[in-house]
A = this chain, B = another copy of it.
Amino acid sequence: MSLLSIGTIAYDDVFTPYGEVRMIEAGSCTYIAMAATHFAQPVQLVSIIGGDYNQAFLEDLKKRGADLEGVEVVPDGKSFFWAGRYHDDMMGRDTLETQLNVLADFNPTLPASYRNTDYVMLGNLSPQVQMQVIDQMESKPKLIALDTMNFWMDIAMEELKAVLKRIDVLVINDEEARQLSGELSLLKAAAKIVDMGPRILIIKKGEHGALLFDGDKVFSAPALLLPTVVDPTGAGDTFAGGLMGYLAATDDTSFENLKRAIIYGSAMASFVVEDFGTRRMQNLDKAQIDARIQQFVDLIEVKF
């Protein structure tokens, strides 16, 4: 099965205690595609870039199974740019600069070949843009997942609530779940959020793993303990890409398969942070992914 994904295709400057990189290829759509193409092909991208974007990088994305028909190119525009510096604890980070550039006027138009895709990943963009994509689907997708962030809760809560009614899976972190629901307890937060629309809620807890809520069923996924995190940028997008790529590839949205998909997403995220940007994803192979899945299985296995 194919997967449709929206998000940014960006350049980042990233500073961490382990080093720095400048004008590296990044963005939510990029990370989602780099992870999802390991499972599902094609991954139909919906994004916008300037004429300044690295052509060789885009060609490589295509070779991996990404479909770039839905990526609008503004020849004399500049691509979205973000610069950030991580704190020594690698948890917090400061944004040093954000240049929306071509993203400021992004009004996606889906190619005809995208409009009947069954699996849709709405990466972190404005709720208005996310809604535009849903509105252009001709047949109802089997599963629409959405990522968002506190920024949109601060400035576009009503628009976000409108789009939440149209999706199946919400993927957010614990802090965002608390902000969205106004509840400290994640159990209470989950109940409130599910009432807002999404049938399935996935709460990412960083180094503490993730929680899956589906009806009255809950799954607690662990996180691997990583010796070194070089660059956390894109971990959430890579998680979403692995998750939705696996779901699209297996075409199975049962609770049991959602659990497996979360482990796949977690495994992909555990790779991406090992190096800057998407570097680690570029030389990743199936054997490495399978071995890491086994590490997750071993980490939580207990017999009674």
Contact = CB atoms under 8 A, between A and B. Distances in A.
Interface of A: 88-90, 184-188, 205, 207-209, 211, 218-223, 225-228, 256, 259-260, 263, 293, 297, 299-300, 302-304
B302 A219 contact: yes
Contacts of A220: 209, 222-223, 299-300
B297 A184 contact: no
Contacts of A225: 185-187, 211, 218
Which of A208, A226, A259, A293 gathers most chain B CB within 10 Å?
Answer: A208
A193 B290 CA distance: 31
B297 A227 contact: no
B293 A226 contact: no
A260 B227 contact: no
25 contacts: A185-B225, A185-B228, A186-B225, A187-B225, A187-B227, A208-B208, A208-B209, A209-B220, A218-B299, A219-B302, A220-B222, A220-B223, A220-B299, A222-B222, A222-B300, A256-B302, A259-B302, A260-B302, A263-B302, A263-B304, A293-B304, A297-B302, A297-B304, A300-B300, A300-B302
A27 to B, nearest CB: 28
Contacts of A185: 225-228
A195 B41 CA distance: 48
Contacts of A228: 185
Given A208-B209, A209-B220, A259-B302, 10 more contacts: A90-B184, A185-B228, A187-B227, A208-B208, A219-B302, A221-B302, A222-B300, A256-B303, A260-B302, A260-B303
Nearest to A91: B184
Nearest to A228: B185
Contacts of A221: 302
A304 B260 contact: yes
Contacts of A89: 184
A30 to B, nearest CB: 27
A289 to B, nearest CB: 12
A237 to B, nearest CB: 23
Contacts of A205: 208
Contacts of A227: 185, 187-188
Contacts of A188: 227
A254 to B, nearest CB: 12
Shortest beta-carbon contacts, A-B, top 3? A208-B208, A220-B222, A187-B225
Contacts of A211: 225
